[in-house]
């Protein structure tokens, strides 16, 4: 007769067959690659404000963010704030007046605000939505 030892501690409560299925499922879940959209969000979050500002300045004005004029820098900051709030439509961006922009924490003069609005109005809807996405 073979003597089998009685399970002690947690061994008497764990069913190793079902536990191993859960462990294998978890490992498979970890091995699934992250989708491109999740990687984009991760890059935007980790690179943060500087990367987004450089991207908008390069796409809109063809210059680095540090070399653009004040109204262009204002445009970049407003578009970044809109992106963070999920306002990606040109019509919605244009609905915001100077007071709403100041509530976002962006201080601007009336002249720069008018230059920003005229530049956004000059963009086509398709180009603007491609830029914001």
pLDDT at 84: 84
pLDDT at 74: 93
pLDDT at 2: 60
pLDDT at 111: 95
Find where tokens 């409560």 sit. Answer: 13
pLDDT along the chain (133 residues), means of 10: 70 84 95 83 75 90 92 93 87 90 91 93 87 82
Q: Which of 75, 78, 83, 74 is nearest to 104 (CA)?
A: 78
pLDDT at 9: 74
Residue environment code for 9-29, b if the CB has 16+ CB neighbours within 10 A, otherwise e: eeeeeeeeeeeeeeeeeeeee
């Amino acid at each position: 007769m073979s003597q089998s030892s009685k399970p002690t501690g947690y061994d008497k409560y764990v069913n190793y067959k079902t536990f191993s299925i859960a462990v294998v499922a978890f490992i498979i879940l970890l091995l699934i690659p992250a989708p491109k959209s999740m990687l984009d969000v991760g890059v935007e979050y980790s690179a943060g404000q500087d990367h987004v500002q450089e991207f908008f300045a390069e796409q809109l004005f063809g210059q680095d963010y540090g070399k653009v004029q004040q109204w262009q820098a204002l445009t970049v900051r407003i578009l970044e704030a809109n992106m963070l709030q999920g306002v990606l439509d040109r019509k919605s961006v244009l609905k915001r007046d100077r007071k709403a922009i100041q509530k976002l924490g962006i201080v601007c003069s009336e002249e720069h605000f008018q230059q920003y609005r005229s530049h956004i109005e000059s963009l086509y809807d398709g180009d603007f939505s491609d830029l914001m996405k």
